[in-house]
Chain A
Amino acid sequence: MKPEILPPLSATMHVRPTGWRFGVKLWLPLFLLWLLLLPILILALPFLFVAAVIFRIKLWRSLKAANGVLAATRGSEVEVDNRGARIFFKLH
């Protein structure tokens, strides 16, 4: 599977409160979240299929597009630095 079609598999977060010599670095395994959500998605598929028929939505195309949006968030970064703390978050 191409990496660019996978949703972000992990995230890193660095938090350093002002005055602290060292910050806290967190590695968040997002792939576990997707693994947990996968059975829910499978269970919801029949309902999604019915909803897609009612609202005339192409289900496969919609799921693919939604996954595309998730996958496209890889590489996003947010950094906030104020007098309270410095926070950095990145999706991998």
Chain B
Amino acid sequence: MNDNRRQILDMLAEGKITAEEAERLIAALERGDVPAARPPGNFKYLRVLVDANDPLDGPTKVNVRVPMQLLRAGVKLTGVIPDRAREQVNEAMRKEGIPFDINKLTPDNLEDMIEQLRDLTVDVDNASAKVRVFCE
């Protein structure tokens, strides 16, 4: 048994992941599309680093750490939005050209989204500022 598989089974035994998640991970491992055994949901924070060089304020560094739990709590808060307001939100988003349905934003979908964030790193680099967003 290789280390990745053992790690997945350990996480399952510890209750960190569900049997379905373990099955998905093992399947992905067998397909070879898991580059490294990084446990799902392992990261707790979203980190935003800004390194700017403003002509007035001079060099400025900003380092923000936002708990992922805030994202989850925010989605739970959308659950209490009245139906009429939801329709208005969807309509406003459509007007802005964003085909987004707030009704589809559920805690289950959010976990999938957070899962996808694991490999996401946003790097913006221009003459006046460098911005880096990643999960940790």
Residues of A within 8 A of B (CB): 4, 55-58, 61-62, 65-66, 68-69, 71-84
Chain B 42-71: CB-based contact to A (< 8 A → 1; otherwise 0): 001100000000000111111111110110
Interface size on B, residues (CB 8 A): 24
Given A72-B73, A76-B67, do A61 and B60 touch, yes or no (CB 8 Å)? no
In the complex, which of the residues A55, A68, A73, A84 contacts B57, with contact meaning CB atoms closer than 8 Å? Answer: A84
Instruction: Tell me the bound Cα distance from A87 to B23 in angstroms.
Output: 46
CB-nearest residue of chain A relative to B85?
A: A55
Per DSSP, are chain A's interface residues mostly helix, strand or loop, or mixed?
mixed
Pairs across A and B, CB under 8 Å, 28 listed: A4-B69, A55-B82, A57-B80, A58-B80, A61-B79, A65-B73, A65-B76, A65-B79, A68-B73, A69-B73, A69-B77, A72-B69, A72-B70, A73-B70, A75-B44, A75-B65, A75-B69, A76-B66, A78-B64, A79-B63, A79-B64, A80-B60, A80-B61, A80-B62, A81-B60, A82-B61, A83-B57, A83-B60
Instruction: Tell me the bound Cα distance from A81 to B58 in angstroms.
Output: 10
In the complex, which of the residues B45, B58, B63, B74 contacts A82, with contact meaning CB atoms closer than 8 Å? Answer: B58
